[in-house]
Structure 1
Amino acid sequence: MVVVRLADVTGEDADAVIACRRRWPDATFLVESGVRWPPQLVEAGLKPQSVLHGRVFGFTPAEIVDRAGQLGLALDTDEAQWLIDRASSQVGFADAVIQAAAARGVLDEVAVREGCDAALAFFAEAAASGVIGPDTWELCAAIGRVGDVTPSALHALSSHSELTALVTEGLVANGLIVEKPELGLVGAPPGLRDSIVRMLAGNAAMGEVDERIGALALQLLDQGRADDAWSLVSDLLHVRTRVLTERWWLLDGLPVGETREWLEHATRTGADPRPRLALARALVDVTSVDHDGRIPPADRAHATLLLDEAARGELDAVATVAIDVLRGVLLRLAGRFEEAMAHHERVCTAIPPAPTTPAERRIACVAQVHAGISALDASAPDVAAQHLTAAASVAHQAGVPHLAVYAHELLRVVTAKAEPHATSYQTLVDNLVGGSAVNGPIDELQRLWTAMYALDIGAMQGELGEPSALVDDPLSIRMVLLATRAAAHGVLQHGGVALGEVEYTESEMQGFRLTGLHQAMLAWARSEGLIHTGRAADAHEMLAALPAAFDGPIPVALLRARALLALGDADRAAEALGPEPRHASGVLRVWEHAIRAEVHRRRGEPEAFSRTLAAGFVSAARSRAMLPFALQGVDALAAAIDGAADLPLDVSTRHFVEQLAAVRDELRRAGAARLTLSERERRVLTALVATASTRDLAEILRLSPNTVKTHLKNIYRKLGVSSRAAAIVTARRLSLLPDDPTGARLALPDEVG
């Protein structure tokens, strides 16, 4: 028998096996290898006849119990498994821990520490003497230093040579690297990792290892492998700060919550201006991954301070452009939309037409996106579309998919001024219905529009039951969402909730220079609330006073006619519509048919009523547009359905009317189910007026803070709001609270129970 130990899969070891086989052709060979079978031996026709996997040479829990017993230490299988989890099953490390535990008389963390330190010292000595290759030791040191990483990051650590990649396989097989499938990560057992860190610190080798890890993380970031890069450095504060600083312009690709935490640490521990710039981006740049569009005043003030600090440092041209972009964002957040648009136009004009470096391309793309947002909020949709289209193109070329997606999704709500209103509005509807989006507020808008278009009452109630995204940027998205929610509340006969949302939004817009688009959307939203709370006269007065230019962003004539119908004035409604059709196609055309049909019915014009109603049903059936009929209210919807009985409709249109009848019945049931709060929720709501915090509320009501939070969550959901202030405004609108805050009676503690 010839025993051969392979140290690698290349070079002299494989040649030695081939030479031995030639020398002893009939001998039995036992080959021990920590790596896979060398390819040179396969090429030479030498293949193993039987294989003992490396795990066979690791301890099982039963074997650990037996080995401990030999040394006079009693362990059970649970303790043995704990040892494996802490130190690995590899014979050398497991046995060293068993011996340390036997010497102490107990298996504990100290035994794990002493055993792992002893085994690791032997391992390092073997590496120093050449018994173990340097690549193997470097890999172990890096794995111990970084902790748990993604499998692909581990592959990156071990991919600089074929040998290291094979060594990794051996370390996994012997339990020195363990898989954590529930987390999707791999890493050294904690006891082994701690020993590696102690040894590196004791030998003053930590800096060298960290340098290699940092360089690899930068390389992975440049390759677009952000998850792997951050997996390597997330727990290494010094290395992470270095990577954050050198690749500050890539950080918008990280979840914004994680980025903020890391950058706040970096700004506290260093004076470099780049982390300050990056943190300002994380605070106010809505193009960052997972940013919800909500930017409270404190974040705006902090970002302003950070940008001022960063501008005083030494920055390259790319960072300077980024600061200029963010200063334009702050103008927009202050409600100075036209100034922000002009500012971003200047920034984009100053950027070279063909950026060359990845950083230049990334920031050029960000500048184009923000120029598009500013133009959108400045009521310049044509300019917005140009910038967003350019941004999507640059982002695709630069390999920045999240920015490309953001630009594309924002384009869904941008319609050209040059298009006829019916065409542009139908384009908006087509873009929103049936789709989904990564951007949270746009996704909410799409889900709600999809539910409304098909009059899916359950889906509408579900969407309105969740707090709306109170988007600060872009404000136009918030306004479109506000008008959409108001229309949905109107269909469900919750006009008071719609007015509450409008008033809360207006309170946050104090001091803003709202553009025509913003004011138009606010007017639409307010008209929905007024009409459905019996204040149609106020709605018409407001709509009649709107500038003529508002008839582009919103269908003012249709809204006025609907308000006049709610007042019972069909003649003036007809005048508001005019004698000729106002909209040639799409959803607005169907809505106009529905309103004109109701005008004819109210005026006692049966032939015109039937003719207009038939045209509306046929047009609506083709596009499955049920919403326009429901916007008139349940009574008008019922009258239209009754009027269809005598119309000569085809099978498809008749089926559409039957579906409308089912929606009518569902709306009646929904209207009968009054918005209700439980007795305890009413007491919490009443006490909410006189308290400033959840803790105060809990003390007054003698409830735990968690219980109060649960009640508040349910109250917010039922009212369709997402804040304390909005809940109070909406509750007063619905007469759930008295108008005079001083008149609210606090529930006594013993009343709550």
Structure 2
Amino acid sequence: MVVTAVTVREDLVDPGRAGPGVDPSGAPFLRARLSLPTRPGTFLRRERLSAALDRAARAPLTVVNGSAGAGKTLLVADWAAGLDGPVAWMTCDPADRAPGMFWAYVREALRGADEAAMAGVRCPAEAGRVDRRLLARLAIALADRDRPVVLVLDEFDRVTAPEIAEQLRFVLHNAGTGLRLVLVTRSEPLLPMHRYRASGEMAEIRNADLAFTPEEAGELLALHGLSLPGSTVGGLVRRMQGWAAGIRLCALAARQRPDAESYLKEFEAGRSTVADFLLAEVLDGQTPARQELLLRVSILDRFSPELVNALTLRGDAEAALAALHRENAFVQHLGHSWYSLHPLFAEILRVHLRERRPGLEPELRRRAARWLRRSGALFEALAQGAAAGDWDFTAGALVDDLAIGQLFTGLRAEHLCGLFAGMGPEATGPAPDLVRAALDLSRRDTAHGLAHLRRAEEALREEGTAAPAALLSRALLEALAARLTGSPADAEQAARVADDAWQEVPAQSLEAHPELTALLLTHLGSARLWAGHFDAARAALSPVAASPPAASTALPRLEALGRLALIDHLTGWNDRARHKALAAAEEAERQGLSERSGSLLGRLVLAAVSVERDELDRAEDLLDGTGDEAALAGDPVTAAFLAVVRARLRLARGDLHGVRVPAVGAAVPSPWAEEHAAVVASAAHLARGRAAEAVEVLRGAPRERTACAVETARALLAAGRAEEARELIGHLPRPDRQGPAVTVRVTLVRAQAAHRAGEDATARRLVAQALLDARREQLRRPFLEAGPWIRPLLRNSPRLHRLAEGWLTTAPGTGGKAVTRPAAREPVPLVPEKLSGREREVLGRLARMMSTQEIAADLHVSVNTVKTHLKSLYRKLGVGRRTEAVRRARELGLL
């Protein structure tokens, strides 16, 4: 192997240059930058990462990208030391922003690996530029090699000049197989990474790969003389997030304790030997001004020079932070002038701040909160304001920035609710009361939510002119309260208030918070749906459902899809309802919202469609476990429809004694909920032969609604009151824009009346029309519920029999029994292909009702990988969805 460390001889004269072994600035080459770093005695060689580097080095470019202290440099140095071939090492420096300096060091590193190959390549003459011909000669010299040279550029994140990145790309491309480039960096290199990834010419080892596993941490602790239980090691790894330097520091401290295990389990970072070490070796070694800076920024997750200046009341933060970063004083550069402290160091400094400057922390947090809000970092500002106990500012910022909707939806919803949970009664005024109302309504506590809304309204009235943001926030909460209590008129009033306030709000503010509009429209649409105003509900819900998928609008989009599916079902369009419900299910799985009310409503629509198709087992599966979810949803639309679907399923099962639709508590009754309750109760009486009771149940029912009118006509015919039935049928509501599930029932009741009057030709024509309308959507329940009069028509009419055969009636040769349930499923065939081990793992998690995201996390793979396994699994089992896959697998004995 060629020696990795490079010794630059002062008597080595570069061809074409006047001085011996000097860079373009005239200074000697720094040997430390061209030498492999020394590995300490407690260094742990991690074979999985060494093997990954071996595989990666087959590609022209390898990128090892991780945070400070992640162990990148020592990992690559140890791997490079074991290579059987020429290796050139160069540690980058801020001076390498000058192309001439960068390429001078690269050439010197390569010359240390193979001096003969670099003999014809001169050192750049100027620090600030490099001749293109020199780069071409360098590439040609490398391309002529029999064996590739491995060039490691450590700390490549210091190279920030796009010009150098383009030059490096040129050399790498033209060197061909003669060069294997390894970049060790804290950030994404400036090279065109997307091209390398797309072409398969690059391999990556990232921060997550570099993190210590519990097993590796156990081995590292053993190298420090510590033998600890796995639970202790695992806890340490979680606290340090696998950060190599933190684990080593803890190991150094723990081995000095009599009970290392207890120490690592229970130690307080601010009062530990780790703290003593960091304070003595890092903090105390700084100037007083820098010590003060570090103490003050410890309250922040990240900070910029401007923010630090606001906390220190000085103006030199930029230089100080850059110096602390260069000195590796646990200040990590995040990019774009932002920095952070390692969490362990920050924790220690906060304890020290409280001891050295008692009472200063709340003031620092208040300053930070106001600076962060002015800079547009609202959620960081809220966190600082809450930590300072400044609730007037924190609640006011949430309301004034139109972000109150994010208490309900988006990635920060849970965090924000937890943040404001600490707000006490001392905070008064419109904004705190609006936030309290939002927190109550998010828990479906409408009584307390409305009380806080009334207090907020009074406070706004006392203030005189209310800000548009406060009015919009109140309108949103009023609309939600109206939806939850079943008060459509209140929802309409809230929408009118919002319309007026919208005119006063800058467009860019609304664009920054699309969840506000989406939530308001969803609440309004849901209230209109409860009132039975389907067209108006569609007008409100459709824009939300059609909006692009985004985390901030995920919940209202899901709920809008579920409610639009319900409207389609209630108006007879089962196929449309099914497609929207499936879209809602996919949205819920994609966004991890499977337990939310919008997802539940979509599942209920699928169950209702299954009942209409007489797929009762499927409907039962979809309804399983919905009771607790419905209670948690606290939504009258969902609760009412759940009651309807359960009753319809019991009716279809023949459980006539259990058929009832309990009323849902609401400010005003829902016409469609009342209608379906009456229809189900009447159908149960008819099924038991109690025609008079069926007619009585429908007394006073709104006959202007199609379902009630049809069921009343059926009951009257069964009671022998044919004239009244025919009169009612003659005035049935026109099924305008209503789908097959409605029109088929209308047609069948007209056919029944014609049959009762002896008009068999008319009856057959109407039944034929109903069969044609029902066949596409497999609507079996209307025929199964029609009564015994229809069976002779289907049996004795060849045309009707042909129209019904195969989906409604049994096939010829089976006795010709009409209007039967679909034949029992044939024995399930064997799986045509054997399931892989990973597919069996995915299948097992499907059976535990885990979402795609949960399966990916559990198996430590990407969501796309899980989706690929699911597609293969479905194909092998011959199914189309997860519930069918689980059922089929149980039938095959795979679970």
Which shifted more, 89-98 or 113-122? 89-98
Measured against aligned partners, the alpha-carbon deviations of 1:648-694 in whole angstroms (never above 9, x if no partner) come to 2586642223369798357999xxxxxxxxxxxxxxxxxxxxxxxxx
**1:97–1:221: structure 2 CA closer, same or farther, 3 Å change rule?**
closer
2:610 aligned to which of 451, 475, 489: 451
Pick one of 730, 742, 762 that aligns with 1:588. 742
> In the superposition, relative to structure 1, how do residues 434 and 247 fare at CA in structure 2: closer, same or farther (>3 Å)?
closer
Structure 1 partner of 2:189: none
Q: Which residue in 1 is equivalent to 2:571?
A: 425
**C-alpha contact (below 8 Å) 2:370/2:381 kept by paired residues:** no
Which residue in the other structure is 1:624 paired with? 778
Cα displacement (A) at 1:271: 3.2
CA separation in 2, counterparts of 1:50 and 1:474?
57
Name the CA distance, whole Å, in 2 between partners of 1:333 and 1:52: 55
Cα distance per residue 1:184-211 (max 9 Å; x no partner): xxx9998666434424544558565886
Residue 246 of structure 1 aligns to a residue whose secondary structure is: helix
Q: 1:246 to 1:580 in 2, by over 3 A?
A: closer
**Letter matched to residue 497 of structure 1:** G
Aligned residue number for residue 265 of structure 1: 422
Farther off after superposition, 24-33 or 456-465: 24-33
**1:143-158 correspondence to structure 2 within 5 Å:** none
Residue number among 657, 680, 691 corresponding to 2:808 in the alignment: 657
The CA deviation at 1:456 is 0.9
Matches within 5 A, 1:522-561: 522-532=677-687, 535-547=690-702, 550-552=703-705, 554-561=706-713
Q: Is the 8 A contact 1:351 1:364 kept in 2?
A: no
Q: How does 1:157-176 map to 2 (within 5 A)?
A: none
Contact preservation (8 Å) 1:530, 1:536: yes
The C-alpha deviation readout for 1:569-626, integer Å capped at 9, x for no partner, is 5665445424999658733332234334445556666555544433332332244222
2:652 counterpart of 1:491: yes
Partner deviation per Cα, 1:723-746 (whole Å, 9 max, x = no partner): xxxxxxxxxxxxxxxxxxxxxxxx
Amino acid paired to 2:609: T
Structure-2 separation of matches of 1:338 and 1:52: 63
3-state SS in 2 of match to 1:657? coil
Aligned length: 605
**Contact persistence 1:368–1:388 (CA under 8 A):** yes
CA positional deviation for 1:252: 2.6
- Structure 2 CA distance, aligned partners of 1:617 and 1:57? 66
* Residues 252, 282 of structure 1: 8 Å contact kept: no
User: Greater CA radius of gyration, 1 or 2?
Assistant: 2
**CA distance in structure 1 between the partners assigned to 2:246 and 2:494 by the alignment:** 63
Higher relative contact order structure (alpha carbons within 8 Å, sequence separation ≥ 6) = 1
Give the residue type in structure 2 aligned to 1:264. A
Report the secondary structure of 1:655's partner residue. Answer: coil
- The alignment-based identity, stated in percent, is 16
- TM-score of the aligned structures, taking structure 1 as reference length: 0.61
Distance 1:580 1:100, change over 3 A: closer
CA contact (8 A) 2:771 2:804 kept: yes
Residues 372 and 388 in structure 1, CA contact (< 8 A), matched pair in contact too: yes
Q: Deviations over 1:689-713 (max 9, x none)?
A: xxxxxxxxxxxxxxxxxxxxxxxxx
Question: What is the SS of the residue equivalent to 2:32?
Answer: strand
SS at match of 2:654: coil
Change (3 A) 1:450 1:35: same
Q: Distance in 1 between matches of 2:243 and 2:534?
A: 65
Does residue 120 of structure 1 match 2:271?
no
Alpha-carbon distance, 1:116 to partner: 1.7
Give the aligned residue type for 1:595: V
Indicate how the Cα distance of structure 1 residues 126 and 663 shifts in structure 2: closer, same or farther if over 3 A, else same.
farther
3-state DSSP of counterpart to 1:75: coil
Does structure 2 retain, via aligned residues, the 8 Å contact 1:337–1:378? yes
Separation in 1 of the partners of 2:601 and 2:383?
Answer: 34
Q: Which amino acid aligns with 1:435?
A: A
Q: Which amino acid aligns with 1:425?
A: T
Q: Is the 8 A contact 1:65 1:80 kept in 2?
A: no
For 1:310-349, list aligned pairs within 5 A: 316-324=467-475, 326-327=477-478, 330=481, 337-338=488-489, 341-342=492-493, 344-345=495-496, 347-349=498-500
Q: Using the TM superposition, give the Cα deviation of residue 352 of structure 1 relative to its aligned residue in structure 2, in angstroms.
A: 1.6
Q: CA RMSD in A?
A: 5.9
| Contact 1:617 1:653 (8 Å CA) reproduced | yes
Alignment of structure 1 residues 701-712 onto 2, 5 Å:
none
Greater mean alpha carbon deviation, residues 394-403 or residues 253-262:
394-403
The amino acid across from 1:117 in the alignment is A
- Any gaps of 5 or more consecutive residues in structure 2? 1-6, 8-29, 35-67, 69-90, 115-150, 173-178, 187-209, 304-317, 334-339, 589-597, 812-816, 826-895
Match of 1:352 in 2: 503
1:238/1:206 CA distance change after superposition, 3 Å: same
Kindly provide the amino acid, as one letter, of the partner of residue 274 in structure 2: C
Evaluate the alpha carbon distance shift between residue 243 and residue 9 of structure 1 in structure 2; reply closer, same or farther with a 3 A threshold: farther
Counterparts of 1:132-281 in structure 2 under 5 Å? 142=300, 194-202=347-355, 204=357, 208=364, 245-248=396-399, 249-255=402-408, 258=414, 259-268=416-425, 270-271=427-428, 273-281=430-438
Counterpart residue identity of residue 446, structure 1: V
Q: Which residue of 2 aligns with 1:713?
A: none
Specify whether residues 255 and 138 from structure 1 end up closer, same or farther in structure 2 by C-alpha distance, changes over 3 A only. same
CA contact (8 A) 1:564 1:570 kept: yes
Matched AA of 2:276: A
CA contact (8 A) 1:144 1:196 kept: no
Q: CA deviation at 1:492?
A: 2.3
2:487–2:527 Cα contact (<8 Å) kept = no
Aligned equivalent of 2:768: 614
Aligned position for 1:562: 714
Q: What is the CA-CA distance between 1:559 and the residue it aligns to?
A: 0.6
Contact 2:429 2:456 in 1 (8 A): no
The one-letter code of the counterpart of 2:620 is Q
Show CA shifts across 1:350-377 (max 9, x none). Answer: 6428852425976566555555445444
CA positional deviation for 1:458: 0.5
| C-alpha distance in structure 1 between counterparts of 2:211 and 2:605, whole Å | 57
Q: d(CA) in 2 for partners of 1:90 and 1:261?
A: 28
State the 1:236 CA deviation.
5.4
Structure 1 residue 323: Cα displacement = 2.4
Does the C-alpha gap of structure 1 residues 470 and 82 become closer, same or farther in structure 2, counting only changes over 3 Å?
closer
Q: Closer, same or farther in 2 for the Cα pair 1:536/1:498, shift >3 Å?
A: same
CA–CA distance in 1 between the matches of 2:231 and 2:740?
A: 72
Q: Is the 8 Å Cα contact of residues 437 and 453 (structure 2) preserved in structure 1?
A: yes
Distance between the aligned counterparts of 1:57 and 1:581, measured in 2?
71
| 1-structure distance, mates of 2:295, 2:672 | 64
The structural deviation recorded for 1:277 is 0.5
The answer to whether structure 1 residue 4 and structure 2 residue 32 are counterparts is yes
Specify whether residues 192 and 331 from structure 1 end up closer, same or farther in structure 2 by C-alpha distance, changes over 3 A only.
closer
**1:319-338 CA deviation, whole Å, 9 max, x = no partner?**
03432554466567666544
Q: Provide closer, same or farther for how the CA distance between residues 533 and 271 of structure 1 changes in structure 2, counting only shifts above 3 A.
A: farther
User: Any conservation in 2 of the 1:311–1:323 contact (CA below 8 Å)?
Assistant: no
| Consecutive unaligned residues in structure 1, runs of 5 or more | 69-73, 146-159, 178-186, 286-290, 416-422, 670-753
